[in-house]
Structure 1
């Protein structure tokens, strides 16, 4: 393949490589710990240039699905790694950075995800909320700036998602964290009495975690919904109509 032709076909060629690796993963021919075929073999098998193979592998590495290492030992080459949250989280973060998501969509998605999180946690026989309690304690510090407080707020919600044991939800919350935190930080500017707002948020957080600890599923769902919609309504970031039409809890 000439360098000119490879350059013209590169956008399609590296996608062919991705699709081939995807098929191998879906069909079980590749799994965590397995080494992907060499650049030379992939290029020959798929009829593409080695630069296209390298581009595809760079994409997979950035997404956290493989790691690459030079050399000739057992850990050299491109190896599939078991990071269930890596690829999805990275993809969402890149989407947020490149285009952003409408605020209303972020709020609705949070409601769906966090409803599932508190339902799972409150209904679990065993739950570990130690990370959430540590974050709650950190949020009680008197000298926190609004920015520092809201960063901990985001960390609390992520800690709950990670404690739920649902790796897909945890990955989505991780990927959306930047978007969520940026909107929440933006809303703080509209709060005239930050001390009163932070006190309210602390109280809401404590009540939510207490309901989860007590296994009160319905209360936890109601509290997390009121907490999320209440802040966005109070800051004027989202239309009041969105807060009046929550997802069905049937």
Structure 2
């Protein structure tokens, strides 16, 4: 089986659970079906279920515990952003957004996030640092790495305190992940690219931590535009 097939299966599980969270069929305190049940219901392998649950846990949406009994399994501890996120996901699923529009929107939103966070005296980047550390874990598959990448950018948006920007970034997540994953297929040396992205992420967060808005916004813009250009999805300037 090719690597593409398990990646698709992993996304099937993730999107199924996200839909249940967004539609209110699952909420904080609810327990997810077992790996065996999700595997049978969705027609995917248990390894794909485990990958999706691992990403959901890093996203802060579920908590998992091994063993047996009432405390075992996966329990919902949070829900995604609400109505605007659902609307944007629906639009993305129905027709997709042009890549150039997605990139330009990211540049506008994430520029504002970087400036806002750097200027804030009460910024909280605990989640961003946690995700940065998770991205350093050895053996991450490309899809897992890029899911964490998208979550890092969303975590920064949420930390900014601007609920509209956070909801828009959450809603755009499906389109962003789709494009960056497609772009990854054109990277000859993915390990080198992953190392570059890790370094860029840490530099961005360090500039924000230091309160350096000018550097933070320049690094964010170079990071976003640079990845799409490196993959050949967009010209050097968008």
Instruction: Return the TM-score normalized by structure 1.
Output: 0.63
In structure 1, runs of 5+ residues without a counterpart are 1-61, 65-82, 243-250
Matches for 1:40-79 after TM superposition, within 5 Å: none
- The ranges of structure 1 where at least 4 consecutive aligned residues each deviate by more than 3 angstroms after the TM superposition are none
Q: 2:127 aligns with which of 109, 113, 131?
A: 131
Q: Does 1:121 align with 2:113?
A: no
CA contact 1:63–1:88 (8 Å) conserved in 2:
no
Match of 2:149 in 1: 153
| SS of residue matched to 1:240 | coil
* CA–CA separation in structure 1 for the residues paired with 2:237 and 2:105: 16
Q: Does 1:97 align with 2:97?
A: no
Alpha carbons 1:84, 1:167 under 8 Å: kept: no
Match of 1:210 in 2: 206
Q: If the length of structure 2 is used for normalisation, what is the TM-score?
A: 0.66
| Partner residue, 1:170 | 166
> Aligned equivalents of 2:112 and 2:105: distance in 1?
11
* Structure 2 gap ranges (5+): 1-21, 25-78
SS at match of 1:95: helix
Decide whether aligned partners of structure 1 residues 85 and 148 sit closer, same or farther in structure 2, where only a CA change above 3 A counts: closer
Matched, 1:180 2:176: yes
Change (3 A) 1:236 1:215: same
Larger radius of gyration: 1
Distance 1:202 1:159 in 2: 16
Q: How many residues align?
A: 163
Distance 2:225 2:80 in 1: 30
